[in-house]
Amino acid sequence: MTTTLWEYPSQHYDARDGSRMQGDKDYVGATPSWVIWQVLSRYTREGDSVLDPMCGSGTTLDVCRDLGRQGIGFDLAPSRPDIRQGDARTIGLPDASVDFVFIDPPYSTHVDYSDDPRCIGKLGAAGDDGGAAYYGAMERVLGECFRVLRNRRYLALYVSDSWKKRKGGPKGSGAGTFMPIGFELFSIMRRHFEAVDIVTVVRQNAKLGKGNWHKVAEEENFFLRGFNYLFIMKKVVDRPDGPRPGASAAAARGQGAMDRAPRRAPRGRS
Ligand SMILES: C[S@@+](CC[C@H](N)C(=O)[O-])C[C@H]1O[C@@H](n2cnc3c(N)ncnc32)[C@H](O)[C@@H]1O
């Protein structure tokens, strides 16, 4: 791809070895493998180690195999034997040990991934605590990603914003809560990483077309999510001119540990 606007042709791609599937097409919340293929092709080299700490159906591992990268996958609820069990808030890898991190986290509470109470998909990005638990958990995850990444290497985070209709809101009023998850996670990452680029990945919403969703969006006065962000970040701990303005002290030292309490996220509008 040569621009920052991507539209993926299909959820999966046909690999050179003839296999037509990466991850699992029935896994709800699977990442489009084409997106991972594009990003790994540009930001990694053959033989590089690639970590996905929330590996889901294993899409990243399959793309790594296709591209000759060493995939390392963790998930709270591993769906297959080559994914190790682990909480992304405490990644079982040494400091500065991987060449790239790809991560597609839960976007608030849209999908029920597992019964594990530690699943971050059980934490709302809005709600009574203003999303503090969700963003606090993601801050720990992103701090760990920073810790295990080698200096001058890249991380890609794939994520979407979210909108939730207010229960009992008057029909057609558009009453609901917008959760700007993309920008919130981007600002957390900026405390650690240098920003390299922001790609918009257009969603075809083919599935939504089959239902009544577009009609409902019009009648209820809200927008369906039309794109995902793909944030590309870089770990730099040896800047010749000192730490980047705004970087956390831990980031400047090259550590992932948080040196500040999780911030309360702003309340969504209603
Ligand atoms: C959007 S899915 C990832 C999809 C994956 N990239 C794929 O293509 O199948 C998010 C994943 O995060 C996992 N998850 C949620 N909380 C977690 C945690 N604390 N540690 C590790 N994984 C977690 C869920 O089990 C789920 O598999």
Domain ranges of the chain: 5-253
Name the residue among 47, 87, 85, 96 with its Cα closest to residue 67.
47
Encoding tokens for residue 82?
Answer: 């080559």
**pLDDT tens digits, 103-127:** 999 998 888 999 999 999 999 999 7
| pTM summary value | 0.91
**pLDDT tens digits, 36-89:** 999 999 999 999 999 999 999 999 999 999 999 999 999 999 999 999 999 999
Q: How far is the CA of 175 from the centre of ligand 1 (A)?
A: 30
| pLDDT confidence of residue 209 | 66
**Residue that wins the pLDDT comparison between 111 and 255:** 111
How far apart, in whole angstroms, are the C-alpha atoms of residue 75 and residue 57?
A: 9
**Residue that wins the pLDDT comparison between 3 and 213:** 3
Q: Is the model's pLDDT at 221 over the cut of 70?
A: yes
- Please report the atom of ligand 1 found closest to the CA of residue 24: 9
Q: What amino acid is encoded at 70 in this protein? A: Q
Q: Are 121 and 115 in contact (CB under 8 A)?
A: no
Label residue 228 exposed, middle or buried (CB < 10 Å: 0-12, 13-18, 19+): buried
Q: How far is the CA of 41 from the centre of ligand 1 (A)?
A: 22
CATH of 5-253, one of 3.40.309.10, 3.40.50.150, 3.40.50.1000, 3.30.710.10: 3.40.50.150
Which SS3 state, helix, strand or coil, does residue 164 take?
strand
- Please report the atom of ligand 1 found closest to the CA of residue 77: 25
Q: How far is the CA of 105 from the centre of ligand 1 (A)?
A: 6
